[in-house]
Amino acid sequence: MNSIEIKKTLMEKGEICDPCLGRQITLRHQGISNGLIGAALRKAETEPEIDKIIEEQPEPEIKSDCYLCEGLLTELPEMHSKLMEETEKWEFSNFLVGTKVPGGIAENEEKIWTEITPEDAETIKRQINRETGKKLEEKTGTEAEFEDPDITFILNFKENKIETQIKSIYIYGRYKKLERGIPQTKWPCTHCEGSGCEECDNTGQQFPYTVQGIMEKPLLEMTKAEESKFHGQGREDRDALMLGNGRPFVLEAVNPVKRRIDLDKFHQKIKENSEGKIEVSELEYSDKDKVVELKSKRSDKTYEVWVKAKQEVSKDDLNKIQEEFEDREIEQRTPTRVNHRRADKTRKRNVKVIETEKVNDNEFKAKVRAEAGAYIKELVSGDYGRTRPSFAEIMKNSLETKKLNVVKVHGSDDD
């Protein structure tokens, strides 16, 4: 259908505003607003006249009784005003615009497109998104980003409000844990489930300090984010130290107001808040893909474990351990200490005792490299036969772990 035929079909059905009229042939006049196209089309009697009238810049008319948009476009200036107010609340380098319209309007468009050729048309949502995006670019000096925007503004005409979807900030680094008794992530208080009570000193947390919590305080202060999420490449036991070059992590700031912070200042604030409990290094901005990478890695760990024996430990015992676990596959059923919160199943893991050292008659130290997911305390004790073989089984002695340190998280380039 030519443009004049489309106009006649549309105008026969009732009142229609210029933007809705022009939107049906918008691709025939690219770079021109739908309102101006519609105003010219309304006056034109022939196809060639449309471009001539466009040059005259007629004033587009938006109708509250338009049967296609049902007057929605008359609400657009007010919605734009709300949007500009919303942009003042957030820091962003790029954006995306989305639109929600009442279902009846989409149905109106679909129905009319069965009677005209819609190849050169665009939806009302696309029109609003495109025109709003241009206004935002002019107002903020930022650009639209369609793949991975810092922020998405949604013009919700159903509820007459602006919705925002904020991309998280991701900061990569490595941490060392230098004090025992500190979990990696926050644990809600078991008494109040995080709401705050006398038992947790109204913090809502089971433990006063966590690796996440120590980093979270300066993160929230600097980014004004709602909360943090901590993504570690594995985790050590609460009573184990994390030494060596540290454990890789990504700290996520959810719904941040500020997107760019000085990472040197952030590092210093973590140091001050830590009071020597943890150290962080290699801080840099990252992204969600890094989280996926960390979670998918199955990195070996090297541990130092101090062991106490019920019976005296001989040099032959230690030699036997090194021989038996030179490169050994073990079977570990879920340990009794975590069986209440993890699936009860048997896992196979490779372990290698690198060296042993006698401390005194009833104590020794071992350095162990183990596959990801191995339970070192149970490798030592046997856990009532749930881990086999174990140090205790090989030595025929009752053993327990006195202390445990993670001294290295191996990378893909390690042996």
| Catalytic annotation, residues | 237
Other Cβ atoms less than 10 A from the Cβ of 415: the count is 5
Which residues 6+ apart lie within 8 Å of 339 measured at CB?
A: none
Give strand pairing partners of 328: 351
| Distance, CA of 342 to chain centre | 24
The number of CA neighbours under 13 Å toward the Cβ of 108 is 21
- DSSP, collapsed to helix, strand or coil, labels residue 278 as strand
Other Cβ atoms less than 10 A from the Cβ of 110: the count is 11
| Dist. CA 305–CA 375, nearest whole Å | 12
| Dist. CA 404–CA 149, nearest whole Å | 44
Cβ atoms of 66 and 15 within 8 Å: the answer is yes
Instruction: Give the residue carrying structure tokens 């340990």.
Output: 335
Backbone phi, then psi, for 130, in 5-degree steps? -65, -50
How many residues make up the chain in this entry?
415
| Dist. CA 101–CA 96, nearest whole Å | 17
Give the pair of three-digit tokens for residue 102.
């009442």
Whether omega for the bond prior to residue 389 falls within 30 degrees of 0, making it cis, is yes
Backbone phi, then psi, for 366, in 5-degree steps? -135, 145
Give strand pairing partners of 87: none
| Dist. CA 129–CA 80, nearest whole Å | 11
| Dist. CA 400–CA 377, nearest whole Å | 7
Q: What are the DSSP calls for 167-235, one per residue?
A: PPEEEEEEEEE-STT--SS--B-TTTTTS--TTTTTS-BSSS--HHHHHHHHHHHHH--SEEEEEESS-
- Angle formed by the axes of helices 103-112 and 124-140, nearest 10°: 120
